[in-house]
Amino acid sequence: LRSCSPGRARRTNASRRACLVARFGDIYAQERLDAETLLRTYISDMEMVQRIIYIAAVESFHAAKMAYRQFKIRVRETLSLGHSGPESLEDTVLDYIVRHEDLYDVQGSVNEVIRSMNINPKISFPPEIDFIVISTLIRELCRVAFSMQTLVPPLDIAFGTDGELFSETKYHRSFDSDFTAALVAYHVWPALMENDVVIVKGEAVTKR
């Protein structure tokens, strides 16, 4: 009989999750502010700066999730040829990805994010500058987003739209918000979710 013992990835799930949630918080506190400072040298409009950073975060998660799906398909195809257990094929695939995360083509995702940002109608940039100036932030977000896909269940960011009803459970209000306003004018940072439950609040600006 094949044993159904969980693979290494599942055994380390809780500790990896804790590290990744902490890393997401660190990026908010450090790389995000570094990117903000950098962008302010080119753009005087703080709202545009914050919109750029938020869209960079959203696009980074999107690109990393796409890359993870493609990476997982390739790994599954390769490992299925010689798989015999005792772990399930899914667990074997997950173990392999967790051990070989360095094979993730993060630069490919960074390029994808910058391409998407260049055609996003909500943000604009002085023509002489390129979004590549915040590639450090994008790279770190792609890395953490990719790793979050290896968790069971995976972590993701909340979907946010301008004009949505402000949610106390999902966001903190930015200090320059109108605290009596009910609607989100724009988002500063996405909320982190697990199975549709908020585990780290994001940040949003509310205005009338």
Q: Is the model more confident about 77 or about 141?
A: 141
Mean of the per-residue pLDDT values for the chain?
90
Is 52 in contact with 125 (CB distance < 8 Å)?
yes
The string of DSSP letters for 64-118 reads HHHHHHHHHHHHHHHHHTT---SS-HHHHHHHHHHHTGGGS-HHHHHHHHHHHHH
pLDDT tens by residue, 90-113: 777 788 888 888 899 999 999 999
pLDDT at 10 over 90: no
Residue 41's pLDDT band (boundaries 50, 70, 90)? very high
Q: Is the model more confident about 122 or about 199?
A: 199
- Which amino acid is residue 28, in one-letter code? Y
Residues 6+ apart with CB under 8 A from 52: 39, 43, 117, 123, 125, 131, 134
pLDDT tens by residue, 160-196: 999 999 999 999 999 999 999 999 999 999 999 999 9
Taking alpha carbons only, the member of 161, 157, 159 closest to residue 185 is: 161
CA 157/CA 135 separation, integer angstroms = 20
Is 140 in contact with 53 (CB distance < 8 Å)?
no
pLDDT at 4 over 60: no
| Residue spans of alpha helices (H) in 100-176 | 106-118, 135-148
pLDDT at 115: 95
pLDDT at 7: 66
Distance set, CA 151 to CA 61, 100, 130, 155 (Å): 14, 14, 33, 7
Sheet holding 202-206, edge to edge: 171-173, 202-206, 184-189
pLDDT at 1: 29
For residue 58, the surrounding DSSP H or E stretch is helix 46-80
